[in-house]
Amino acid sequence: MVRTLAFFGPVGTYTEEAAILYDPHAELKPFPTIGAVAQAVSSAVTDQGVVPIENSLEGSVNHTQDLLVRQSELCIYNEVALPIRHCLMTKPGMDASDLQVIYSHPQSLAQCREFLERTFPNAQQVASLSNSTAVTDMLASELPAGAIAPQRASELYGAEIIDRNIQDNPNNMTRFVVLALYDHPPTGKDKTSMCLSFNQDGPGVLYDALGEFAKRGINLVKIESRPTRQSLGQYIFLIDCDGHREDQPLKEAIEVLNGPNSVLTVLGSYPRWEAGA
């Protein structure tokens, strides 16, 4: 049975590329926002959905994190890590020296700032809603224009790539998560994402909670705070660790941390992404 897979669109974006990498045989359905992807999954319009959650340069995607915390019916089923390789493209046959405007998503413009300042110091940089939309903005421009976008966008819209790998940092990667109504069975090479909150704040509460992982030899690969949205100065803690929620000793740590003063909610256990696996 072909899996239906929502993704944060439109077509020609890095999220679509991640969705294809995750399941090249799925029926892909673009949605205009991360929230719309989540709604498609929670209402069973699609089987799963792909959204960005973290970039190696720009940090976490807060909208995705907040959505996972608020919508308890959603789980992380899998993850995909994608190298971000920006291409500069124009209308076919255009001379690069003529460019007056360059379109792209604001993050992509920021990730190519040094290249743009060095190569096109006089070109106006214009933000588009997505990297894919940047290509259609470029094609519709009355001024000589370029666009920064994935290679796939050039194939979809008939643009000509005039330069590749123009990102300033070669280590630019984005992590995407696959949303579903359930998480993944244990594979032996798993990660678990969790949300930790406290009923009462006080000295050492976070230290003591993290100690439950340390004394069981559980490796925490990421921890960060997000506002609770209930009161200024109140936070929840988002944690990624090695292991599956059904495996000991992580299962025991989860049980201990669901105690009188702390609540640990599992957002999903899923296989660690391995390129080429």
Catalytic residues: 174, 176
| Coil vs helix vs strand at 140 | helix
**Alpha-carbon span 223 to 196, nearest angstrom:** 10
Phi/psi region, residue 89 (left: phi>0; alpha: psi -120 to 50; beta: rest), is: beta
- Sheet containing strand 262-271, strands side by side: 220-227, 235-242, 190-198, 262-271
Burial of 59 (0-12, 13-18, 19+ CB in 10 A): exposed
- Residue 49: CB partners within 8 Å, gap ≥ 6? 5, 6, 7, 31, 37, 38, 40, 41, 178, 179, 180
Distinct helix (H) and strand (E) counts, the chain: 9, 15
